[in-house]
């Protein structure tokens, strides 16, 4: 199956909250679930998938290999552990969560392990997350652009990542926007509230529609049934040039995911 353009992100969801949120999302019709080793909720995601009664081939499942597991001695073992917790023999998409490039572990080594995991049948598709243009160029030299399904990057009205997105699209790499609602900051943006009223949608629906119109997929996170349903029901809006100019005017380079090990951003 192709990746649905709106999925459910599970960052920061733990234990019973993670389980119930994913189970609710699946009941509401979500068929794209995103998790990661570092989230510590793969077991809960796997149990929710199992308990949902939905067949495995009807859900697009993504997980990500954490930085500590990118070495050849750990990569496959950590992936097998993830698959066991997820109660599946494969994921639809496997990503390198954050790039590592050091004397001990080159970017090329971890990319080679990623490709090997796909060749073994553990992942239908492979990709990366938080890669810069320079790092994508290196990834393309190892994997070729056709093998890199997506690069998950932070995108919201306050950080639009235009340069990186344009490069990705020129290479046929799908941008997946995480934190599309800027951890709720967009909800009180007056210009967006006015525009949402014009289209008779919620502000989150407006922002998600903008993300999709820009050619991106996205994985918003929520624990509330009403919000999960509202996000999934985001209509396809035909935002005008004037609307898009309003969005463009909100760019301020506000990066919310910027840990100490982050790359040198474009």
> What's the CA gap between 242 and 227, in Å, rounded?
27
3-state helix, strand, coil in the chain (%, to 5): 45, 15, 35
> How many CB atoms are located within 10 Å of the residue 154 CB?
21
> What's the CA gap between 258 and 266, in Å, rounded?
13
Query: Which residue out of 19, 30, 39, 178 is catalytically annotated?
Result: 39
> What's the CA gap between 237 and 165, in Å, rounded?
21
> What's the CA gap between 80 and 249, in Å, rounded?
45
Tell me, yes or no, if 39 is annotated catalytic: yes
The closest of 253, 249, 146, 216 to 5, measured between CA atoms, is 216
Reduce the DSSP state of residue 95 to 3 states and report it.
strand
> What's the CA gap between 206 and 94, in Å, rounded?
29
The residues assigned a catalytic role are 39
């Amino acid at each position: 199956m192709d990746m649905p353009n709106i999925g459910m992100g599970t960052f920061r969801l733990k234990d019973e909250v993670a389980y119930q949120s994913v189970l609710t999302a699946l009941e509401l019709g979500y068929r794209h679930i995103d998790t990661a080793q570092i989230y510590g909720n793969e077991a809960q995601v796997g149990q929710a998938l199992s308990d949902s009664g939905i067949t495995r081939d009807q859900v697009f499942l993504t997980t990500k290999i954490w930085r500590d597991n990118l070495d050849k001695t750990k990569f496959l073992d950590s992936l097998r552990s993830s698959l066991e917790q997820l109660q599946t023999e494969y994921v639809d998409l496997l990503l390198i969560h954050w790039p590592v490039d050091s004397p001990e572990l080159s970017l090329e080594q971890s990319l080679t392990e990623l490709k090997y995991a796909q060749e073994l049948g553990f992942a239908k598709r492979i990709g990366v997350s938080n890669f810069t243009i320079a790092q994508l160029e290196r990834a393309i030299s190892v994997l070729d652009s056709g093998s890199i399904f997506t690069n998950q990057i932070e995108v919201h009205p306050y950080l639009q990542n235009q340069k990186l997105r344009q490069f990705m699209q020129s290479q046929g790499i799908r941008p997946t926007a995480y934190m599309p609602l800027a951890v709720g900051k967009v909800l009180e943006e007056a210009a967006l509230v006015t525009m949402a009223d014009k289209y008779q949608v919620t502000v989150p629906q407006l922002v998600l529609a903008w993300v999709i119109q820009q050619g991106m997929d996205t994985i918003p996170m929520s624990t509330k049934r009403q919000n999960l349903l509202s996000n999934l029901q985001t209509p396809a809006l035909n935002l005008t040039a004037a609307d898009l100019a309003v969005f463009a005017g909100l760019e301020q380079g506000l990066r919310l995911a910027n840990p100490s090990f982050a790359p040198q951003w474009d």
